[in-house]
Structure 1
């Protein structure tokens, strides 16, 4: 089987090409392919298929689209699986053109680092040959294009630059001139193409033309972008002026290191997502982190912000990082580690992205994780930089990405507390206090509306259990529906059986956040999370848990501690564990409807149901 997005969407099996004529089914297939091997929540798919404006019938219609897509794909149809809360597609890396492109690119980079320019050029040509046009060109989804098309186009341009480097190393400067002129005209902002054009002209004996190109690019950058040429362009310009022998042939390692250092010294990244203008509460946590970020240190600050799904960990860290920008004038790096997915981000790939951001040419990025970590920490040494690592899976994923210089700091978010991350400062987020929850809702719905119904506002905050994600959904829904009273929404949430249905709005979905929260649990812990919610009280003691799970107390305690570490239970005192209200409602829902889920038979929950009745 072959699946392709580097151009029009394609699916090819032994019978030939499979056509997916329906536009929304193409969007659905593309959304699954770009996250192949991962469960994509139904809410995320609906947001993608309907470009952020899914209809009320989206869940039902989405199931219909999945059924029709399976039929259209023929023998590939069964590869689309249904998982709790979403869908996934089973596609191997060698079957997907975007992954083959990445693999060939990496082989080219490795060959170029070994000095095998001919082999590198061949691998780059293979990678570029996979492109049949702009990525996702026939997929009518602005959401998907914004997320994937630009990224893939950037990766293609990076490979073009690397292939041109290999060609210049092989002495093909004359035959590359036409292509370089087209690329500089099409992408005037990419200084690397201009530097390669100047080098090719100079090696062809056209020094005056090479200097004229520098004048042209300097004018374009000043007029269109308001910036001066970067370090690499200036270095090539100086080398041409003094007829530097190093410019006559393949770059020598010493010069390459000089250029890398020069480029790196001028790059000041700021990769944070936009901050929330309505961030509310968490005053003590914000002050604690701000104080630590601005204090003089003898070792790098590593802070781990943990808490239940939807607790606002990312919001707190991003708010704090924006506020700490002046304390880290050399830049802020950001990475989404995707810890809640089947395939979390690979630290090696994240390091590669960081190195490119810091100004390292693609061909100079080391192959191995350890080598990349060493170079990354060297580049950050002596600089006041902040690294934000969002949604970490575990300490093993985080460690290679941590800076080492005392002037550096790292803010990490994770559902797990990461207790084995040496030297980390723990920050655990519980529910918002009642006053902060009401204040948050007031900011979203407006002070006049909140003042008109103070009791209903308090009840709505209580129904949300102080969970920031739930509060935001309620506030946004009320703001979008001025005809609704606060009482109307509070009454809808008062019914536990429909509360979670009300807490979904586009990509904001409490169920989806909770579902992602249990993705990394082992089977016994996931089962215990469901079954212990059937106890008559939201607080479960160790003895009760032992009887309900049918396990010795020591085994039950280990399971409960795993749930507490994952932010799914709160350990208020030794031997007693509490469900937050919405998490308990969701766990009871899972236990009630467990037979419909694919990963375990219904019989698993029946003994615990009987034991819950006995305990009650």
Structure 2
């Protein structure tokens, strides 16, 4: 058993984790774990539990919380009385095997002393995999969120900055670009990420984009804070305008990016400079394969995981391909990553997760993807590629022709029948979760006590979410961050305007309408119009007759089915998932009214569909 603090507070056993429900004992546990092995004063614990308004019996209530917490430990098989009462407060002992925060700091310290960049990078990346979501999202203590969460977050961001520094100095500018695009957007207040992104763009020959990014950063700082970019950013802009050579990536020389933190990479580390254009690359030590962490709160899909493991069990001279297809939001990427975690020991050559689309949804070229892979791929043994969000068979064919791999997991909203026709393999068309798996997901996120307190409402929540993993995670996250909100009330609120309310305001990507809309926008306008037309019809089953019974009607339904927006097909009728039908109806209403759809589903209509 171990405690997980770097995310929702939870107790884990192997890959299984149980998130604790918001409560005073949970706040007490978090306050102790944040200071592992140290004496935490009674006064601090009282503030952590009651902020500035403790009850008159606060000290007795604190002792009661300690007893309740010890009973929770016993429930989950934690023995040895880890909470120790000492003069002045309490202490909770933890080590790298029992607390992720201790393990994180241990790996960062190891990275400081390893002496060579590949080993340093490996340890820092492993440390970052321990972060599993919003920090203490299920802990209600205002004091911890105000005083401790920012401090812990700073530790993570410093480590992430350091990883990007090393990647840049190793000349892996193309590989790090994908992470930096996302990181710079998520943390606009940290100029260092913007510096790294602009340097990576410039070093990969994208001078115009680098300048555009600089001007965007400058405009934001001026408009929001009334300040200019820092000296490092200004010097970098000047270098780009002049077309300067930023110099080699040897850490023994000046930092490639003006103003870079010298301590980001030990001066003693031996890092080869980038070869001159056209010159043969110097031999590099083989990269250490990255660790693939388990997917937080993953549930269900036992049959698919077993089938994929069996298919990859036998080594083959040719790549073994598995395609995971299905509706947007049904959990294709989560299953692929969980399988990669399950199987990574069987692939000594490494496991590489590669996004196949740009952040705007456009397809990436095979050349862009290959540039992110270390060379030579497969030199140390069988390699597994996870190609996420493939848009067409040609993307995969080109990679298989240029990269020696042992196995490939492909996620795609399309069926990729053309790939199966030319390369073989297997296809798993994912359906929504079964009710039991949906309940396990809610229990994992919300805690068993909260689900057990409202079993019928929890069952109804899963139904309203269509048993889609994306929908369930969004709804559960809303409940997790609102500990006083009843499940029943959440269900009623969601049902009034599905699927529009299945979204998180602080993360635009966690939105059912956004994900469904992204899938629809990839289609030809004719097939988009056909999808809208389905929203205006009754029921969930359709044949070509519903769209006019023409050759184009048949093709429209086939295209929608291939894109994951419909299921089944000839000789029986096509079927649309209820959430997708509600989305289609909403889009049809938006189109008719020129904006927000006027014909919203009432709760009764929502239940009927």
TM-score by length of 1: 0.54
Give 1:270's match in structure 2, choosing from 266, 274, 290. Answer: 290
3-state SS of 2:418 partner:
coil
Structure 1 residue ranges without an equivalent (≥5): 1-43, 52-97, 108-125, 169-176, 192-216, 222-228, 237-248, 359-377, 606-616
- Write the distance in 2 (CA, Å) between the matches of 1:336 and 1:501: 28
- Write the distance in 2 (CA, Å) between the matches of 1:268 and 1:514: 37
Q: Is the 8 A contact 2:357 2:364 kept in 1?
A: yes
Q: Which residue of 2 aligns with 1:570?
A: 567
3-state SS of 1:389 partner:
strand
1:327-366 correspondence to structure 2 within 5 Å: 327-338=346-357, 341=360, 343-354=362-373, 357-358=374-375
CA displacement at 1:402 relative to structure 2 = 2.8
Q: Which residue of 2 aligns with 1:288?
A: 307
With 378-387 and 564-573 compared, the bigger mean Cα shift is at 378-387
CA displacement at 1:414 relative to structure 2 = 0.9
- Write the distance in 1 (CA, Å) between the matches of 2:494 and 2:429: 27
- Write the distance in 2 (CA, Å) between the matches of 1:331 and 1:303: 17
Q: Is the 8 A contact 2:329 2:469 kept in 1?
A: yes
Are 1:419 and 2:417 matched, yes or no? yes
- Write the distance in 2 (CA, Å) between the matches of 1:407 and 1:337: 17
C-alpha RMSD of the superposition: 4.6
- Write the distance in 2 (CA, Å) between the matches of 1:542 and 1:128: 46
3-state SS of 1:306 partner:
strand
3-state SS of 2:521 partner:
coil
Q: 1:406 to 1:546 in 2, by over 3 A?
A: same
CA displacement at 1:333 relative to structure 2 = 1.9
- Write the distance in 1 (CA, Å) between the matches of 2:559 and 2:265: 49
CA displacement at 1:562 relative to structure 2 = 0.6
Are 1:594 and 2:583 matched, yes or no? no
- Write the distance in 1 (CA, Å) between the matches of 2:493 and 2:256: 63
CA displacement at 1:504 relative to structure 2 = 3.8
- Write the distance in 1 (CA, Å) between the matches of 2:205 and 2:561: 40
Matched residue count: 390
Give 2:325's match in structure 1, choosing from 303, 306, 310. Answer: 306
- Write the distance in 1 (CA, Å) between the matches of 2:407 and 2:316: 10
Higher helix share: 1
3-state SS of 2:371 partner:
helix
Give 2:542's match in structure 1, choosing from 533, 540, 543. Answer: 540
Q: Deviations over 1:276-297 (max 9, x none)?
A: 2211111111111222233322
CA displacement at 1:331 relative to structure 2 = 1.6
Q: Is the 8 A contact 1:533 1:587 kept in 2?
A: yes
- Write the distance in 1 (CA, Å) between the matches of 2:291 and 2:473: 25
- Write the distance in 2 (CA, Å) between the matches of 1:251 and 1:462: 58
Give 1:318's match in structure 2, choosing from 337, 357, 360. Answer: 337
3-state SS of 2:417 partner:
coil
- Write the distance in 2 (CA, Å) between the matches of 1:101 and 1:440: 39
Are 1:431 and 2:432 matched, yes or no? yes
CA displacement at 1:563 relative to structure 2 = 0.3
1:142-221 correspondence to structure 2 within 5 Å: 164=248, 217=267, 220-221=268-269
Give 2:217's match in structure 1, choosing from 122, 136, 139. Answer: 136
Q: Is the 8 A contact 1:311 1:431 kept in 2?
A: yes
- Write the distance in 1 (CA, Å) between the matches of 2:199 and 2:464: 49
Structure 2 residue ranges without an equivalent (≥5): 1-181, 190-196, 600-609
Q: Deviations over 1:2-39 (max 9, x none)?
A: xxxxxxxxxxxxxxxxxxxxxxxxxxxxxxxxxxxxxx
Q: Deviations over 1:391-425 (max 9, x none)?
A: 11111222222377886211111111111112232
- Write the distance in 2 (CA, Å) between the matches of 1:527 and 1:132: 36
Q: Is the 8 A contact 1:306 1:428 kept in 2?
A: yes
Q: Is the 8 A contact 1:337 1:390 kept in 2?
A: yes
